[in-house]
Structure 1
Amino acid sequence: MTLMQYFMSDISPFFIPENTVCLEDVIKKSRFLTYLAHTPGREAALAYIRQIKAEHPAARHHCSAFIAGNPGDGQQWGFSDDGEPSGTAGKPMLAQLQGSGLGEVCAVVVRYSGGIKLGTGGLVKAYGGGVADALRQLQSREKIPQYTFSLQCEYGTLKTVEYLLAQYSGVIEERLYTEIIILRCSLDARCYNAFCQQLLQASDGQLQPQK
């Protein structure tokens, strides 16, 4: 991803889960277990789905939906009906997650079938309703997307870098002292462009962050 592509993406703060929720419901003898968890990234979401499947190997279905990153980024969405009729499980679950406005969240609904068919409408209500009920019990917190970059500076300009970072509530995460100083920094992604402009002006164009 180029810097331009990065800053064209949505870098607004969003809410993420702060706890894990598990709810159980029995509908026409079928047992439904709904799980919600914080999963920062697609791999974390897929790993969580595998974890729940491993915990319930005898269940007939393990349907899932996730929004693995910023809720505005459709490339981070995913869902699975896991053997249920198409559109009756994963999509209704994803619709509930989308409606919540949360990001970095994964829902898994485990079904132990009771032998009574629920029909298309019944399945949509069971899977979507389970996620809706679980969302009402979920606590959340705001996440401010951070941008991480490296910066090389002379010893004499370190105080300038530290001062400007502080103005934007940025932090220096790592320092390597050699003939020059190599820094790894992070700050609110919304402030990155303004910080770079200030840094260039303060250093007469000598200091330029690198992704």
Structure 2
Amino acid sequence: MNSAEASAATSYATVDGDHRHELEIKRSRFITYLRRVETEEAARGLVAELRKTHFDARHHCSAFILGPDRSVQRSNDDGEPSGTAGLPMLDALAKRETAPGTADLSDVVAVVVRYFGGILLGAGGLVRAYSESVSAALDTAPLLRRQRMRLYGVGAGYADAGRLENELRTAGTEVLGTGYGPTEATLKVALRDSPEASREFAERLAALTAGTSTAVDLGTEWVDLR
């Protein structure tokens, strides 16, 4: 069983690449960086990267959520009073609605670099500042949805592969690509991971190829939907 099959989630949202946003609050600069990551090592790698880039900043606070089920959640105050930075940042990530009534943001790390402006914000002020910094960055960050899909390989003759791909796309089937082997082409298609979707696809394929092509189940995989 692969990781896609092991997860109870069927879809979730994440950030599309890297994103930067800056706020100034009572003379302090709060620079938020968002990055799509899939491991704790990659999340901590962004923190290390920003410590070098912003070597003269006082704090590099962080929070990240990983996995389709959001099972890994970590935060770090990096010298700010306990609970005033990392946890508010994590809360902003965890409660972000990516669709009405749906909070499922994952595979994302947020790092807020703070340049102290000389005015103390107090515990409540820090909580609001770090929470607002991440929320404001998410307001402008591009997101994408990841969907757990069932993959199939469909064999076709070289002469028929292009036509079959076009007809499948026209019918609404997600075609991820076509590979060419020594004797035939193989179309890689992705379907919703449900028995109904698989049955409907088998019927559509039979109609398009007069029953000459069959689909080989390749398991499940997470696919980016933009």
Shorter-chain TM-score above 0.5: yes
User: Greater share of helix residues, 1 or 2?
Assistant: 1
Aligned to 1:66: 64
Aligned to 1:107: 110
How big is the shift at 1:175? 0.9
Instruction: Give the root-mean-square deviation of aligned CA atoms.
Output: 3.8
How big is the shift at 1:17? 5.3
**Matched ranges for 1:4-153 at <5 A:** 4-6=5-7, 8-11=8-11, 14=13, 16=15, 20-27=19-26, 31-42=28-39, 45-68=43-66, 73-102=69-98, 103=105, 104-113=107-116, 118-136=121-139, 138-143=140-145, 145=147, 147=149, 149=151, 151=153, 153=155
Aligned to 2:177: 173
Distance 1:166 1:69, change over 3 A: farther
With the length of structure 1 as denominator, give the TM-score of the two structures.
Answer: 0.70
Listed as ranges, the gaps of 5+ residues in structure 1 are none
How far apart in 1 are the matches of 2:115 and 2:199?
58
How far apart in 1 are the matches of 2:212 and 2:189?
22
User: Greater share of strand residues, 1 or 2?
Assistant: 2
161-170 or 102-111, larger mean C-alpha shift? 161-170
Aligned identity (percent) is 28
How far apart in 2 are the matches of 1:19 and 1:4?
28
How big is the shift at 1:171? 1.1
Contact 2:37–2:109, Cα closer than 8 Å, also in 1: no
With the length of structure 2 as denominator, give the TM-score of the two structures.
Answer: 0.66
How big is the shift at 1:178? 2.0
